[in-house]
Amino acid sequence: MTVASVEMRRSPVPKETTLRARRRREAGLAYLILLPALAVFGTFTFYPFFRNFKLMLYETPPVPGLPAHYVGLHQIIPTVTSTQFTQSLVTTIVFVALVVPISLILGLALAVAAHRKLKGIAIYRMIFSSTVVSSVAVASVVFGTLLNPVVGLLPWLGINPTPPALENTTWALPAVAVITIWQFLGLSFIIMSAGLQSVPDELLEAARIDGAGAWTRFWRMTVPLLSPTIFFAVIVSTIYAFQSFGAVDILIGNQSAVRLHTNVLIYNIVNTLQVENNPGAAAIMATVLFLITLSLTVLQMRFLERRVHYA
Amino acid sequence: MAQVSFEGVTKRFGDTVAVDALNLEIPDGELLVLLGSSGCGKTTALRLLAGLEEVSEGTIAIGGRVVNDVDPKDRDVAMVFQSYALYPHLSVARNIEFPLRQRGMAKDVRAAKVKEAATTLGLDTLLNRKPSQLSGGQRQRVALARAIVREPQVFLMDEPLSNLDAALRVQTRADIVALQDRLSTTTLYVTHDQVEAMTMGDRIAVMSQGILQQVATPEDLYAHPANTFVAGFLGSPGMNLLPGTVTQGSGGEALVEVAGGVVPFPSTLRASSLGDAGAVILGVRPESLSLDPDGPLHADVTIVELLGAETHVICRTPDGSRLIVRQSARAAKPAPNDQVRIAVDPDPAAMHLFDATTTQRLTAP
């Protein structure tokens, strides 16, 4: 077959049509590959997300068994201005303000301490990061025991607040925050360690030769060069802290006298849904939490990205 | 006075000896190039002088002061890194100013010195830029400015041109030589590029496997390499090294028999220095060889490389040794697989003999 005859056979098909058909085929294949992921996300993320907006529009009577009725947007204002919700919001903000900076500073300090070429340093790295694999239930039981007024570590150290820390209106929230900080520490350490690996040794060596001491090198070189990592860690841990639930549920519970002092948003939402049987109010609170997290993330990105130095 | 001296300096990393009993003196104001292939210990030697690595044995002195236990910041050295190591979050001005700020200099003094350094290196218009907004050559100049602004006793340069393109490298190496000449600051310059070493160094120290092979001026190093490593490493391409034996000719003259022919050797041999059975390595630079139908050597052409002004005819001798002949681009070029005869320049300085066992030079320098 000659070249000319091949050209003759090809020429009736317009090039544009062939390209369009190929693109359509490729798009079809792409959607097919995406389908399993879309099914999982659709079922467990997108459907609940949109269903939540629907729930906001219905009020459930306090008596069990009666059907929910449509109230539109009327229950939003009363819910978000209720004392229960505003107190819960303040408690959550205090909780986040305790957990995020402390866990990040400690994580950074441990990462810096472990970022050296020493024999056996890998063991320390493993210990420092180990909290990331312990479940909130295990962490809560361990800390519950340590804070126990009879067999715990605190009374053994001579610290014995009355009433005990987890039943004390002043100490209950900080105690829960300590557990959460301990849990976050592993993740914070891992993120900061990964960030430190990306800081070129040559920069620190150049600064050392240029006359910078260890403290100056840390503040003037390491921290600015680590700012993308710190920025990421602040966002992730703030979102996680806003969603804390396990430690409060296990250590405090909804029967405790200090419940209102540790009533973080997620815990309040779960209680409103399950104990008070009020899905509408719970959906409104969940939406507020979503908006807070979203706006906080946007704010942090806008504010921090101006100060972030990308190497 | 900033003479630098290494006395019996050894650096070990576990069982690996990176620098082995290094003895080296760099007089005040000299630009000494530490030359060697990757992993030969040259950068480690530089880092030992900078204080970034601890000496395992021996002493390092700067200006007569032993600095083994002196912190890098107190050694009064400035270093230019291969990657330039510019502080990415600081502007060019702040980068240059950084070492002055660390020394607590007054603001107006700092500003004047930064301006002077920037002017010297043509960075006046770039002072407010961040390193990421600069080209490779500009970054390199900022790194140099940061080094000179301190007026240190010693400059340390760790392959500062290796990230530049070929044209810029040629320009910058001339700039560095001119700058060093003007400042007269003792400089230790590390490179693996022998062209850089030959064109820049007052003297060159060649290292291999942690051991100093030879220290000499570029001319001396090229003309009288101390061993086969130096002979093969210096020059582009390096010296041809052909294993052979020395025999006596009928007229009493020394002959070197190599695969592919017998070459009469014009110089007096130190017979007592010869290895067993007169086993030697004959060294001839490519420019001392020529294609000549009456030449004593024969070889097969494998590749002909045209480099513009000259041509490299790469041949293989009967025992598989590589032999490169450098000739003018105007000369007739053989084709691959041609059999050629090769003549050797009769000038005594053109031929070098090395002991086959120790690889050390046999012919008198």
Write the residue in B73, B82, B132 that is nearest to A209 by C-beta: B73
pLDDT at A60: 85
Query: Over chain A, what is the mean pLDDT?
Result: 86
Measure the CA–CA gap between B61 and B203, rounded to whole angstroms.
19
Does B44 map to a domain? yes
Q: List CB contacts of B87: < 8 A, sequence separation 6 or more.
A: A203, A206, A207, A221, B94, B95, B98, B131
Same domain, A37 and A53: yes
The closest of A98, A142, A106, A143 to A244, measured between CA atoms, is A98
Same domain, A156 and A197: yes
Same domain, A274 and A155: yes
Same domain, A102 and A250: yes
Measure the CA–CA gap between B50 and B64, rounded to whole angstroms.
15
Same domain, A123 and A142: yes
Q: Is B64 left (phi over 0), alpha (psi -120 to 50) or beta?
A: left
Helix or strand run (H / E) with residue B176: helix B166-183
Measure the CA–CA gap between B206 and B211, rounded to whole angstroms.
9
pLDDT at A307: 58
pLDDT at B269: 54
Does A9 map to a domain? no
Same domain, A121 and A239: yes
Q: Is A212 on the interface with B (CB under 8 A)?
A: yes
Does B100 map to a domain? yes
Does B362 map to a domain? no
Same domain, B175 and B260: no
Same domain, A49 and A83: no
CATH number at residue A218: 1.10.3720.10
Tokens representing B168?
């810029």
Choose the final residue of a domain: B189, B210, B232.
Answer: B232
pLDDT at B159: 93
Does A214 map to a domain? yes
Counting the structural domains of chain B, the total is 2
Measure the CA–CA gap between A264 and A266, rounded to whole angstroms.
6
Nearest CA in chain B to A203: B85
Query: Which residue has tokens 């006793």?
Result: B153
Q: Is A161 on the interface with B (CB under 8 A)?
A: no
Q: B85 and A203: CB-CB below 8 Å?
A: yes
**What pairs with residue B347 in β-bridges?**
none
Q: A212 and B83: CB-CB below 8 Å?
A: no
Same domain, B38 and B158: yes
- The string of pLDDT tens digits covering residues A108-164 is 999 999 988 778 888 888 888 888 888 889 988 888 888 888 888 877 888 777 788
Does A35 map to a domain? yes
**Poorest-pLDDT segment among A5-9, B152-156, B223-227:** A5-9
Helix or strand run (H / E) with residue A303: helix A279-304
Give the distance from CA A220 to its chain's centroid. Answer: 29
Q: Which own/partner pairs from A275-279 qualify as long-range (CB within 8 Å, at least 24 positions apart)?
A: A276/A62, A277/A60, A277/A62, A277/A64, A278/A60, A278/A62, A279/A55, A279/A58, A279/A60, A279/A68
Same domain, A39 and A108: no
Taking contacts as CB-CB distances below 8 angstroms, the residues of chain B near A202 are 81-83, 85
Does A263 map to a domain? yes
CATH number at residue B202: 3.40.50.300
Same domain, A163 and A52: no
Same domain, A55 and A203: no
Q: B79 and A211: CB-CB below 8 Å?
A: no
Q: What is residue A42's DSSP assignment?
A: I
Q: What is residue B164's DSSP assignment?
A: S
Nearest CA in chain A to B87: A203
Same domain, B180 and B91: yes
Same domain, B303 and B157: no
* A204, A209, A221, A310, best to mutate vs chain B, most B CBs in 10 Å: A209
Choose the final residue of a domain: B206, B232, B258.
Answer: B232
Same domain, B287 and B176: no
Same domain, B182 and B273: no
Q: What is residue B56's DSSP assignment?
A: S
Which residues of B fall below an 8 Å CB-CB distance to A?
50-52, 72-73, 75, 77-79, 81-83, 85, 87-89, 98-99, 102-103, 132, 146, 150
Q: How many CB pairs under 8 A join A and B?
A: 59
Choose the final residue of a domain: B232, B265, B291.
Answer: B232
Task: Tell me which residue range forms the domain holding B151.
Answer: 4-232
Q: How would residue A167 be classed by pLDDT, with cut points 50, 70 and 90?
A: confident
Q: B87 and A213: CB-CB below 8 Å?
A: no
Does A120 map to a domain? yes
Same domain, B213 and B268: no
Does B360 map to a domain? no
* A118, A208, A210, best to mutate vs chain B, most B CBs in 10 Å: A210
pLDDT at A305: 64
Measure the CA–CA gap between B26 and B190, rounded to whole angstroms.
13
Tokens representing A233?
């860690």
Tokens representing A93?
């903000």
Same domain, A103 and A125: yes
Distance from CA of B48 to the nearest CA of A (A): 12
Does A8 map to a domain? no
pLDDT at A14: 64
Measure the CA–CA gap between A189 and A173, rounded to whole angstroms.
23
Does A136 map to a domain? yes
Tokens representing B79?
């270093």
Same domain, B219 and B338: no
Same domain, A99 and A56: no
- The string of pLDDT tens digits covering residues B36-61 is 999 999 999 999 999 999 999 999 99
Q: How would residue B16 be classed by pLDDT, with cut points 50, 70 and 90?
A: very high
Choose the final residue of a domain: A72, A91, A111.
Answer: A72
Does A213 map to a domain? yes
Compute CA distances A116 → A112, B158, B194, whole Å. Answer: 8, 24, 36
**Poorest-pLDDT segment among A258-262, B80-84, B91-95:** A258-262
Taking contacts as CB-CB distances below 8 angstroms, the residues of chain B near A200 are 83, 85
pLDDT at A3: 46
Q: Check pLDDT > 80 for residue A45.
A: yes
Counting the structural domains of chain A, the total is 2
Task: Tell me which residue range forms the domain holding A26.
Answer: 16-72
